[in-house]
Amino acid sequence: MKYVRKTKAPKFFKVDTQHLKDWGKYKSKKKRDLKLHILRNEQYFLCIYCEGKVSMKNSHIEHLRPKDVNKYPGRLFEYKNLTVSCNGDCQDFCLDDQPHTCGHVKANLYDEQLFLNPTELEDIEAYFIYDSDDGRILPSEKDPNRAMYMIYTVLKLNEPQLCMARKIALKTLQNKLSTFPKEKRKDILKTILRKESIAFISFLRYRYRKII
């Protein structure tokens, strides 16, 4: 997971939602405008939680603090609470169409003491380490309880399809590097890992943390 800097709420969002109190009344077309804005300007088409690539089709607007108006009055249309998550479907790994990870699995979970909020914690990457052999995300020593809560209780970030996707991202990067002369690879790697739009970028940065 990585820090996502929220920008100021766009004008169209304020206009579209100024009289709304019910999320269901927020029109689908307007929601799409918002989602596209967030994906383009803040998340670079990556899921807020797993950092997998998302498109307009396989993602949804995600309330970090859940849509429960009793628990979080005033947060329903609060721009900084709105992000985009993947739908967490398992693709080729099983035959069901149930969500297995990320926002739809999280649903209404949000423990204020434990939840690591990617829009509030600039050092959120430091809570996690990765196993580059099997693609798992694991707690660092920084605060294992909070990291475990995110990985296992809230988001299920070690489901097989996600571990596999991380390994594929690493292999793809390695294959790309191998097409360059050896003496240039380090600089190219540094350039690539500065980009925010690469899927599973935190995993890749962790893998090459001694180089970059």
Binding site for Zn ion (CB under 5 A): 47, 49-50, 86, 102
| Nearest CB to Zn ion, comparing residues 155 and 170 | 155
* Closest by CA position to 207, among listed 134, 132, 157, 135: 132
| Nearest CB to Zn ion, comparing residues 46 and 129 | 46
* Closest by CA position to 128, among listed 198, 22, 206, 70: 206
Shortest CB 102 distance to Zn ion, Å: 3
Shortest CB 42 distance to Zn ion, Å: 15
DSSP 143-187: -HHHHHIIIIIIS-TT-HHHHHHHHHHHHHHHHHHHTS-HHHHHH
Shortest CB 47 distance to Zn ion, Å: 3
Residue that has been written with the tokens 């694991």 in this structure:
138
Shortest CB 129 distance to Zn ion, Å: 19
User: Residue 189 and residue 205: Cα distance in Å, rounded?
Assistant: 10
Shortest CB 25 distance to Zn ion, Å: 27
Query: Under DSSP, is residue 106 helix (H, G, I), strand (E, B) or coil?
Result: helix
User: Residue 126 and residue 139: Cα distance in Å, rounded?
Assistant: 9
- Residue 177 corresponds to which tokens in the numbers above? 């590097």
| Nearest CB to Zn ion, comparing residues 47 and 150 | 47
| Nearest CB to Zn ion, comparing residues 102 and 147 | 102
Beta bridge partners of 138: 129
Q: Distance from CA of residue 101 to its chain's centroid?
A: 11
| Nearest CB to Zn ion, comparing residues 47 and 82 | 47
